[in-house]
């Protein structure tokens, strides 16, 4: 079955950096648009960034533009989220997701379990 496993979460100070990884298995990875979402305590799930099948196109939420970068390595079936200049409001559980749609899709069909990111002020 399809598995998406996130890693790399943790505690970081404001202004710091962190890199998340999401390893995929059980699917033809290069066929999927991949994305990161996050959910802060008491809030709904929020889109963070997406990357196209080949990695040549990305799409990010305004709240993270210029600070977060999504990338992928199709040879390793893995996506990454490089987070810089982090803020306390970035604190959330971060999820990766997979879609058969294009990079601006809203229809994600596979989800990981999430990894906690906490930014201290």
pLDDT digits (tens, 9 = 90+) for 1-43: 999 999 999 999 999 999 999 999 999 999 999 999 999 999 9
DSSP per position, 40-74: -TTS-EEEEEEE-SSSS-EEE-TTTTTTEEEEEET
The confidence band for 51, taking pLDDT boundaries of 50, 70 and 90, is very high
The confidence band for 105, taking pLDDT boundaries of 50, 70 and 90, is confident
The predicted pLDDT at position 104 comes to 85
The confidence band for 85, taking pLDDT boundaries of 50, 70 and 90, is very high
The answer, yes or no, to whether residue 106 has pLDDT greater than 90, is no
The predicted pLDDT at position 86 comes to 98
The predicted pLDDT at position 42 comes to 94
Between 67 and 105, the more confident residue is 67
């Amino acid at each position: 079955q399809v598995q998406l496993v996130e890693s790399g979460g943790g505690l970081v100070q404001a202004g710091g950096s962190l890199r998340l990884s999401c390893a995929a298995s059980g699917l033809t990875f290069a066929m999927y648009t991949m994305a990161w979402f996050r959910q802060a305590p008491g809030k709904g799930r929020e889109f963070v960034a997406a990357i196209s099948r080949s990695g040549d196109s990305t799409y990010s939420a305004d709240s993270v533009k210029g600070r977060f970068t999504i990338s992928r390595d199709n040879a390793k079936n893995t996506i990454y989220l490089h987070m810089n200049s982090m803020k306390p409001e970035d604190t959330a559980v971060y999820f990766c997701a997979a879609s058969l749609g294009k990079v601006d899709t809203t229809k994600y069909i596979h989800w990981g379990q999430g990894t906690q990111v906490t930014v201290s002020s």
